[in-house]
Chains A and B, each alone.
Chain A
Amino acid sequence: MQRDRWDSRTAFILAAIGSAAGLGNAWRFPYMAYSNGGGAFLIPYFIALLTAGIPLIVLEFSMGQSTQRGAPGALAKAGRKFEGFGWWAVLSGTIITSYYAGVMAWAWDFLAGSFTLGWADDAGTFFYEEVLEISSGPGVLGGFSTSVLIGLIITWIVIYFILRNGAQSVGKVVMITVPLPIILMGILLIRAVTLPGAVEGLNYFLEPNFSMLTNPSVWIDAYSQVFFTLSLGFGIMIAYASYMPEDSDIINNALITVFANSGISFMAGIAVFGTLGYMAETQGVAISEVATAGVGLAFVVYPNAISLLPGGGFVVGLFGFVFFAMLLSLGIDSAFSIVEAGVAALKDKWGGSKRKVTLFYSLFLFIVGLLFVTKAGLYWLDIVDHYVNTYGLVFAGLSEAIIIGWYYDTTKLRNYFNSVSDYQFGSWWDIMIKFVTPIMLIILLVTELMADIGTPYGGYELKYLVYGGWIGVIGLLIVASYFLSRQRGLDDTDV
């Protein structure tokens, strides 16, 4: 059967950038830089990009493009016994999409709230009480939050229609969904830096504190930021690259993706800290009192900062709309790219109609994601997110590097990607894949494991961490990866 193909190299690069640049660029990088030495954080960040980010993304592009398979099929080419590690990567992504779509559902609610200024009085109350209708703990599901459920349905309908014609339809959509958030972020950035107090905020974000560089946790944070921001370990980049012809440039495509993704993160940092500087000045508090990351930044602090903008209700609603439209357009291509990685893996294994596989897989993920739109959804999302990111994705990246570095001929793979690329990589790439990347990912895993053993994550009761994390994520990944890799597929019957 003819493999799905991108319309053009531009479509592929934009899709890869769209996948890499997601909500984390806006809500994780700025705080990560601020809390790890400001401008000085860029030194470990760039070193992490050079020693782990770029080598790994080139590895994933090469695996997909050379094998013309998604993650499980690509790893199976290195050895049938490795297929399960590919399924591990795809399943980690599967779990993430199931709740990522829930986060996008919140953004739909806030986008709608921009017309009524529903969040303008107190975004925290709007978010926790009106949108989430949050229960007292993870043990009290309390039924669905209606508005979030509606947002979830909208998100999945959008994802399905974008993906149903595969790379062809994705290639057309990313022409809009990749430039759009950059334009919207540019509007927010210009508004932010022209606000009183913005300079103080930018000083917090950019002033280098070089003494922080002696702290190992800063380096660990830099490697973790680089790993997560490039959508590595999901199998996405492998699946996307598998839709490119085998003789397409790999290194330059990877470099464009990396520079664009980091450029978007940096832009977000300026927009966020400029606004937080204004908020701090308006409220007469220190930046450290308003600086935060993640859900708290996107759905509480930033909307509250917008509601303080001069110009009245229209301006507040307008900039709120711009911000949440930016979040949605940033998030949607990351969300559908993860789904596509799963669809590619399933189709490679068993074949079938693209539309049918996409429909059933999307429906499956929608049903799984219902847990995260219950009134206890935020708690479960927090638990699952911690375990799947910390152990699922990091282990997936680690296994890719070890399998290719130690059980496959890295020189052969390097000769392949050099032969199709304008730029050339030397043997330093082999060293990064064999030694540096695995060592840094092992340090990440061990550090987090020690932290989890020492203190229960998030202060949750142990039983919820066991059900949601150790069994719901780690146990599921082990069992399902093994089970799927043991099934006979199309590639097995070819030989």
Chain B
Amino acid sequence: MSGSAIVTLILASVVLYGGLFITVRKAVKSRNKDEE
């Protein structure tokens, strides 16, 4: 795969799946806090 395609793949994955991870983690933390 070309270098620019690999960079696109990495950047898009970081934004999309990283964003998903952060927001889900925040929701889980918030739920745990509510349960305490």
Contact of A39 among B12, B23, B24, B31 (CB under 8 A): B12
A317 CB, nearest partner CB in chain B, Å = 30
Interface string of B1-36 (1 = CB under 8 A from A): 110111111011101110110011011001100000
User: B30 contacts A46, CB within 8 Å?
Assistant: no
Docked CA distance A367–B23 (Å): 42
Q: A252-B30, A263-B20, A422-B30 are in contact. Are A42 and B4 (CB under 8 A)?
A: no
- On chain B, the residues within 8 Å of A9 by CB distance are 27, 31
Q: Please state if A206 and B5 are interface contacts (CB–CB under 8 Å).
A: yes
Interface contact B8-A259, CB-CB below 8 Å: no
The residue on B at minimum CB distance from A257 is: B23
Residues of B with C-beta under 8 A to A410:
none
Cβ–Cβ contact B27 & A202, under 8 A: no
Interface contact B26-A252, CB-CB below 8 Å = yes
A202 touches B5 (CB 8 A): yes
For A255, the chain B residues whose CB sits under 8 A away are 19, 23
Instruction: Report whether B20 and A208 are in contact in the complex, using a CB–CB cutoff of 8 Å.
Output: no
For the A-B complex, the count of residue pairs with Cβ-Cβ distances under 8 Å equals: 64
Residues of A near B31 (CB, < 8 A) are 9
Listed residue (A249, A253, A256) with the most chain B CB atoms within 10 angstroms of its CB:
A256
B22 → chain A closest CB, angstroms = 9
Interface residue from A203, A205, A259 paired with B20 (Cβ < 8 Å): A259
Chain B residues whose CB sits within 8 angstroms of the CB of A13 once the complex forms: 27
B15 touches A46 (CB 8 A): yes
Give Cα A206–Cα B12 distance, bound, in whole angstroms.
Answer: 10
| Residue total for A at the interface (Cβ-Cβ under 8 A) | 25
| Interface of chain A residues 244 through 286 with chain B (CB within 8 A) | 249, 252-253, 255-256, 259-260, 262-263, 266
Q: Contact: B23 with A203, CB < 8 Å?
A: no
A46 to B15 alpha-carbon distance, docked (Å): 9
Q: Contact at A207–B26, with CB atoms within 8 Å?
A: no
A181 within 8 A of B: no
The answer to whether A208 and B27 touch (CB under 8 A), given A255-B19, A263-B16, is no
In the complex the two chains form, is A207's CB within 8 Å of B8's CB?
Answer: yes
Asked whether B5 lies within 8 Å of A203 as measured between CB atoms, the reply is yes
CA distance A207 to B3 in the complex (A): 8
Contact between B17 and A263 (Cβ–Cβ < 8 Å)?
A: yes
A42-B8 in contact (CB<8A)? yes
Assess whether A207 is in contact with B24, with CB atoms less than 8 Å apart.
no
Q: Report whether over half of chain A's contact residues are helix, strand or loop; otherwise say mixed.
A: helix
In A1-44, the 8 Å CB interface with B consists of 9, 13, 38-39, 42
B16 CB contact (under 8 Å) in A39, A208, A253, A262? A262
Q: Which residues of B contact A422 (CB under 8 A)?
A: 26-27, 30
A205 CA / B31 CA spacing, docked (Å): 38
Tell me, in angstroms, the Cα distance from A207 to B26 when the chains sit together.
33
CB within 8 Å for A207 and B5 given contacts A252-B30, A262-B16, A422-B30: yes
Q: Are A252 and B23 in contact (CB under 8 A)?
A: yes
**How many whole Å from B27's CB to the nearest CB in chain A?**
5
Instruction: Decide: B20 and A207 in contact? CB cutoff 8 A.
Output: no
Asked if A266 and B12 make an inter-chain contact with CB atoms under 8 angstroms apart, the answer reads: yes
Determine if B1 and A203 form an interchain contact, defined as CB atoms under 8 angstroms apart: yes
Q: Which residues of A contact B6 (CB under 8 A)?
A: 206
Inter-chain contacts of B23 with A (CB < 8 A): 252, 255-256, 259
Q: Which residues of B contact A205 (CB under 8 A)?
A: 5
A199 to chain B, nearest CB (A): 5
Chain A residue contacts of B11, Cβ below 8 A:
42
The answer to whether A249 and B4 touch across the interface, beta carbons within 8 angstroms, is no
Q: Which residues of B contact A256 (CB under 8 A)?
A: 20, 23-24, 27
A202 to chain B, nearest CB (A): 6
Q: Which residues of B contact A266 (CB under 8 A)?
A: 12-13, 16
Chain A residue with minimal CB distance to B29? A422
- Shortest C-beta distance, A61 to chain B (Å), equals 14
Residue of A nearest to B16 (CB): A263
The answer to whether B4 and A207 have CB atoms under 8 Å apart is yes
C-beta contact mask, A288-324 vs B, less than 8 Å → 1, else 0?
0000000000000000000000000000000000000
Give every chain A residue within 8 A of B9 (Cβ-Cβ): 202, 206
Q: Using a CB-CB cutoff of 8 Å, which residues 111-149 of chain A contact chain B? A: none
**Nearest residue, chain B, Cβ from A198:** B1
Cβ contacts under 8 Å, A260 to chain B: 20
Q: How far is the CB of B4 from chain A (nearest CB, A)?
A: 5
Residues of chain A with a CB closer than 8 A to B5's CB: 38-39, 202-203, 205-207
- Which 5 pairs, one residue from A and one from B, show the smallest C-beta to C-beta distance? A39-B8, A206-B5, A259-B20, A259-B19, A206-B8
Q: List 7 A-B contacts (CB under 8 A).
A: A38-B5, A38-B8, A207-B4, A256-B20, A256-B24, A259-B20, A266-B13
